[in-house]
Amino acid sequence: MAVWRCQRFLLTTQGKGEIWMIAVIDYDAGNLKSVEKAFLSLGEEVSITRNREEILAADQVVLPGVGAFGDAMGRLHQYGLVDVIHQVVDRKTPFLGICLGQQLLFESSEESKGVEGLGILKGKILQIPPQEGQKIPHMGWNSLTIRPKSRLFAGVEEGAYVYFVHSYYLKAQDETQVAAFTDYGVRIHAAVEQGNVMACQFHPEKSSSVGLQILKNFVHMQKMG
């Protein structure tokens, strides 16, 4: 049986002791199962949930996402998750946004004008400009330029390829928060790190061994203190 202890979502089962828990936020806009499968392959326990108490008690929290910026923000409000996410960040719980989940961390998007994002980090989400011979959405494998000493990319080689699917991209206000870049007719801020908040535009759960290394880094940076 699950045992709740203080503010931590720790499971105690006979013979297993305490289990580290990652909450993956379910707001009907995410690639939940593929994210869950990736963490399970690393030996981690995952709870797919929109329950406020479970999210706030988790050791780490992941916000995945596919679809439109405005629709996703609408669902976060509908399920009362906007305040919960802000509390998670304020508590310094490690937080990872994936794909649309990265975009939602910022202030606004050209995709859904007039809709406010979470505003946890400063920056805008812009449409990838059309160019002759270049397909939109940006779909497929692309290489990364990695900022030195990035925690999220520890052990990942410069120029490593990861999998993207998006038509809008991040332009962060503070480039010191950018952990990795890619190019697709425009310079794209492909990942960010700021304190306990991390995010990536690409899909680590679909990026083979490189993506699994990134997820492993996210997990271990908290476990190792």
Q: Establish if 32 belongs to a structural domain.
A: yes
Q: Which of 36, 44, 99, 200 is catalytic?
A: 99
pLDDT at position 55 is 98
Q: Establish if 1 belongs to a structural domain.
A: no
pLDDT at position 8 is 41
Q: Establish if 116 belongs to a structural domain.
A: yes
pTM for this prediction? 0.91
In 3D, which of 112, 111, 123, 108 has the Cα closest to residue 197? 123
Q: Establish if 143 belongs to a structural domain.
A: yes
- As a whole number of angstroms, the distance between CA 31 and CA 166 comes to 14
pLDDT at position 221 is 80
Q: Establish if 195 belongs to a structural domain.
A: yes
Q: Which of 138, 166, 189, 203 is catalytic?
A: 203
CATH number at residue 167: 3.40.50.880
98: domain range?
11-223
The number of domains in the chain is 1
Q: Establish if 147 belongs to a structural domain.
A: yes
**Residue given tokens 């310094």 in the structure block:** 92
Who contacts 174 (Cβ-Cβ below 8 Å, separation ≥6)?
122, 123
Kindly report, residue by residue over 126-139, the tens digit of the pLDDT: 999 999 989 999 99
Kindly report, residue by residue over 198-223, the tens digit of the pLDDT: 999 999 999 999 999 999 999 998 66
205 is catalytic: yes
Task: For the chain, 225 residues long, give each residue's pLDDT as a single digit of tens.
Answer: 333 333 344 443 334 445 789 999 999 987 899 999 999 999 999 999 999 999 999 999 999 999 999 999 999 999 999 999 999 999 999 999 999 999 999 999 999 999 999 999 999 999 999 999 899 999 999 999 999 999 999 999 999 999 999 999 999 999 999 999 999 999 999 999 999 999 999 999 999 999 999 999 999 986 655
36 is catalytic: no
pLDDT at position 6 is 34
Q: Establish if 171 belongs to a structural domain.
A: yes
Q: Which of 44, 54, 111, 205 is catalytic?
A: 205
Rounded to the nearest 10 degrees, what angle do helices 32-41 and 208-223 cross at? 70
Q: Establish if 3 belongs to a structural domain.
A: no
